[in-house]
Structure 1
């Protein structure tokens, strides 16, 4: 299991990005969470098998219809053992 934090920038708020991320994560078997940030970006933490996390990162590079992702900054974190993918309130 691996865990990654991704900061997604661009036109990513107000387009269902967090909800789309949750659906994609559930489909891929990835856990973690997503939240809007005050600077207009979306922060996402992902945990799961490396292949599924990489597929989820690929999804984040495009996002749902209506999103306009301009950058994705990814960093490594230690796994925490999350058991679901959640949507958190804004940071």
Structure 2
């Protein structure tokens, strides 16, 4: 059963690097959703998929791509939105 997770990543995220890599990782895992930088510099990711795949994605977010320094990751459950792809929001 599909679930939605709202993931907020804080740290030195390399500008748009983390957002781009999150989209690519989400697509590779078969997740749907979007990633966007918030005004405070945090990255917000809304991701939908199977719970075990979402867990794998959240684990990846805790480390992030090379060149980034993740300080914290907060995860909350959200309502399924029915995203049809994974995209970056600018």
TM-score w.r.t. length of structure 2 = 0.94
Task: Tell me, yes or no, if the aligned pair for 1:15 and 1:64 is still in contact at 8 Å.
Answer: no
Q: Which residue of 1 aligns with 2:37?
A: 36
Q: Which residue of 2 aligns with 1:8?
A: 9
TM-score w.r.t. length of structure 1 = 0.93
Q: Which ranges of structure 1 fall in alignment gaps of 5 or more residues? A: none
Task: Tell me, yes or no, if the aligned pair for 1:13 and 1:40 is still in contact at 8 Å.
Answer: no
Within 2, Cα distance between the matches of 1:28 and 1:34? Answer: 15
What is the CA-CA distance between 1:80 and the residue it aligns to?
A: 1.2
What is the CA-CA distance between 1:13 and the residue it aligns to?
A: 4.0
Within 1, Cα distance between the matches of 2:69 and 2:14? Answer: 10
Written as runs of structure 1 = structure 2, the 5 A alignment for 1:50-69 is 50-69=51-70
Once the two structures are superposed, residues 19-78 of structure 1 have per-residue CA deviations (whole angstroms, 9 ceiling, x without a partner) of 100110011001100001111111101100001111111111111111100000111111
Aligned residue pairs, count: 89
